[in-house]
């Protein structure tokens, strides 16, 4: 594989620029991948780009993603058709008395659903958006709370999909002995500074201790002064949502919160036990059928129609993530990961290696829109450097994992953010404009901590 050096950044830069110019995330990702193909293959770019699409569609991870996203859309549709989502909204609204309380409830629900970051992103947004709407919380703020908390809690709880993956990385790259991956991961947890700082920053931001500014502040003023909860890019949905809400109230729908909570609990528990969200999803379908049919909330035919309809609703986010996968293929061929990781070798001072590892892995994950894959590339390169320099491998591992968490929660065209944007009904570029400036604070604190601990523990 060739290394194109700085040229390998061109597709990513094109994507970021086009997203803000065109306000079309998927089209920008496609354009970026085509630019990458042109750089790589010249006049043969189109056929090679088509080959990359075939490669992505044949990838097991993409197939799993396709099923998880689509089927979870079916679950959301069932919750809405049964009145369960409405029942939970009314129940939660009775518990919340203010805007801050509704956001703290979203934050708390983030903490509870720690088994998987995708489950977290899909469940919390669909559960809380109607609750926060009652208190004029802009959807952009809800999306930030979910994204900033979801990946962090999934990383800090060891019996989650993130915990299992990270333990495997520690073991396979010599940081932990065979069979000791989870034990060593527990020792690494105190050094995953970005996740820890984010868990503190979010409640402080909700409480107003950390001041709101920039586009996020404007979004809050818009919601409070005009009642427009969705960004301008989604104005067409505002009217539809208000009409739908009016119809629900006029029809006196008697939704029951239990029809939402029990299936969601089953989904979370089965996913936690089996480490496979698909098992949780199908278990959720079974429980929904058992609960809804006797109550005559939906008929068998309507049940299947809801699943199909919900699947269709998720095609947009599936398209965005698929386009990001194609861009990742082009980035890999251009040698972007190898080029960025190679920069770590310049950090000859072992005391600076943790902060450099955080910066490099964080930037790599953000630029590539791929997180576990990039970490799997970074670990076998950076850990040997740490061992050769006699640096603290546990601290360096925590720095790399922190970079991965940042990338997952901040990359506005990545899978995590795309799922949250779908459930909160905002565009990816709206998330970027409002949330990315807020991430400056936890990133800055994390950098300082890794510099300090690099000298103390290095």
pLDDT of res. 237: 58
Percent residues over pLDDT 70 in the chain: 94
Find out whether 136 and 224 touch, Cβ atoms under 8 Å. yes
pLDDT of res. 1: 55
pLDDT confidence tier of residue 177, bands split at 50, 70 and 90: confident
DSSP class of residue 436?
Answer: G
Residue 23, pLDDT > 80, answer no
Length of the chain counted residue by residue: 458
In the structure encoding, which two tokens stand for residue 172, read together? 């396979």
Residue 239, pLDDT > 70, answer no
Residue 129 lies in a domain: yes
Category of 234 on φ-ψ map: left (φ > 0), alpha (ψ -120 to 50) or beta: alpha
pLDDT of res. 347: 56
Q: Exposed (0-12), middle (13-18) or buried (19+): which is 398, by Cβ within 10 Å?
A: buried
Residue 309, pLDDT > 80, answer yes
Whole-model pTM above 0.75?
Answer: yes
Residue 429 lies in a domain: no
In the structure encoding, which two tokens stand for residue 191, read together? 């050094």
Q: What is the mean pLDDT of residues 286-295?
A: 95
pLDDT of res. 247: 44
pLDDT of res. 274: 85
Q: State how far the Cα of 72 lies from the Cα of 257, in Å rounded to an integer.
A: 19
Q: Of 24-38, 57-71, 114-128, 241-255, which gets the smallest average pLDDT?
A: 241-255
Where are the alpha helices (H) located in 58-134, listed in sequence order?
60-82, 84-95, 99-112, 117-133
In the structure encoding, which two tokens stand for residue 205, read together? 């931001």
Cβ contacts of 271 within 8 Å, gap of 6 or more: 115, 116, 119, 277, 279, 280
Residue 77 lies in a domain: yes
The residue assigned the tokens 């903490």 is: 111
Residue 290, pLDDT > 80, answer yes
Mean pLDDT, all residues of the chain: 88
Q: What digits encode the pLDDT tens for the residues 206-220?
A: 999 999 999 999 999
pLDDT of res. 305: 95
Q: State how far the Cα of 314 lies from the Cα of 345, in Å rounded to an integer.
A: 42
The residue assigned the tokens 């029990």 is: 262
Helix (H) or strand (E) holding 195, with range, is: helix 193-207
Residue 438 lies in a domain: no
Q: State how far the Cα of 337 lies from the Cα of 334, in Å rounded to an integer.
A: 9
Cα torsion through 221, 242, 125, 144, rounded to 10 = -10
Q: What digits encode the pLDDT tens for the residues 110-146?
A: 898 887 888 888 888 888 998 999 999 999 999 999 9
**Which of 273, 312, 278, 270 lies closest to 118 in space, CA to CA?**
278
Helix (H) or strand (E) holding 233, with range, is: none
The residue assigned the tokens 């109607």 is: 130
Residue 191 lies in a domain: no
Q: What is the mean pLDDT of residues 51-58?
A: 90
Q: State how far the Cα of 40 lies from the Cα of 330, in Å rounded to an integer.
A: 8
Q: Give backbone dihedrals phi and psi of 230, rounded to 5 degrees, phi first.
A: -95, 150
Residue 38 lies in a domain: no
Residue 2 lies in a domain: no
Q: Exposed (0-12), middle (13-18) or buried (19+): which is 246, by Cβ within 10 Å?
A: exposed
Residue 243, pLDDT > 60, answer no
Percent residues over pLDDT 90 in the chain: 48
C-alpha to C-alpha distances, 96 to 12, 89, 210, 449, nearest whole angstrom: 42, 10, 22, 36
Find out whether 85 and 260 touch, Cβ atoms under 8 Å. yes
Helix and strand totals (H; E) in the chain:
24, 0
Category of 335 on φ-ψ map: left (φ > 0), alpha (ψ -120 to 50) or beta: left
Q: What is the mean pLDDT of residues 258-277?
A: 87
Find out whether 134 and 102 touch, Cβ atoms under 8 Å. yes
Q: Domain limits at 73?
A: 61-158+211-314
pLDDT confidence tier of residue 263, bands split at 50, 70 and 90: very high
Other C-beta atoms closer than 10 Å to the C-beta of 224 total 14
Q: Which residue has the higher pLDDT, 178 or 343?
A: 178
Residue 40 lies in a domain: no
Other C-beta atoms closer than 10 Å to the C-beta of 76 total 22
Q: Is 448 helix (H, G, I), strand (E, B) or coil?
A: helix
The residue assigned the tokens 């970021």 is: 16
Domain count, the chain: 1
Helix (H) or strand (E) holding 148, with range, is: helix 139-156
């Amino acid at each position: 594989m060739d290394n194109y050096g700085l040229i390998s950044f061109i597709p990513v830069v094109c994507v970021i620029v086009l997203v803000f110019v065109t306000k079309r995330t998927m089209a920008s990702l496609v354009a970026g991948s085509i630019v990458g193909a042109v750089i790589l293959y010249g006049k043969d770019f189109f056929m090679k780009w088509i080959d990359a699409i075939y490669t992505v569609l044949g990838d097991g991870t993409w197939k799993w993603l396709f099923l998880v996203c689509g089927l979870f859309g079916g679950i959301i549709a069932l919750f809405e058709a049964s009145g369960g989502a409405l029942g939970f909204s009314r129940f939660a609204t009775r518990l919340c008395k203010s805007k801050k309380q509704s956001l703290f409830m979203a934050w708390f629900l983030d903490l509870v659903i720690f088994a998987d970051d995708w489950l977290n992103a899909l469940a919390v947004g669909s559960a809380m958006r109607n609750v926060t709407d009652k208190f004029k919380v802009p959807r952009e703020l809800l999306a930030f709370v979910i994204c900033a908390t979801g990946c962090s809690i999934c990383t800090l709880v060891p019996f989650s999909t993130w915990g299992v993956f990270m333990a495997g990385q520690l073991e396979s790259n010599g940081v932990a002995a065979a069979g000791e991956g989870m034990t060593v991961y527990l020792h690494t947890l105190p050094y995953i500074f970005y996740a820890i700082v984010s868990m503190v920053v979010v409640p402080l931001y909700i409480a107003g201790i950390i001041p709101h500014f920039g586009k996020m502040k404007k979004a809050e003023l818009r919601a409070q002064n005009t009642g427009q909860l969705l960004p301008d890019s989604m104005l067409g949905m505002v009217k539809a949502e208000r009409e739908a809400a009016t119809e629900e109230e006029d029809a006196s729908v008697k939704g029951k919160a239990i029809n939402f909570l029990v299936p969601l609990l089953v989904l979370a528990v089965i996913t936690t036990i089996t480490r496979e969200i698909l098992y949780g999803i199908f278990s959720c379908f079974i429980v929904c059928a058992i609960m809804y049919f006797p109550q005559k909330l939906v008929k068998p035919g309507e049940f299947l129609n809801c699943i199909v309809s919900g699947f269709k609703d998720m095609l947009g986010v599936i398209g965005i993530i698929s386009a990001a996968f194609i861009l990742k293929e082009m980035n890999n061929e251009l040698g972007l990961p190898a080029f960025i990781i190679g920069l770590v070798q310049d950090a000859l001072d072992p005391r600076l290696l943790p902060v450099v590892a955080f910066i490099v892995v964080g930037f790599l994950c953000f630029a590539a829109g791929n997180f576990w894959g990039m970490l799997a590339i970074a670990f076998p390169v950076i850990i040997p450097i740490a061992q050769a320099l006699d640096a603290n491998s546990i601290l360096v591992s925590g720095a790399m994992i922190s970079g991965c968490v940042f990338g997952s929660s901040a990359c506005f065209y990545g899978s995590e953010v795309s799922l949250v944007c779908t459930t909160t009904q905002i565009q990816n570029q709206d998330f970027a404009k409002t949330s990315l400036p807020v991430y400056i604070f936890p990133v800055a604190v994390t950098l300082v901590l890794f510099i300090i601990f690099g000298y103390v523990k290095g």
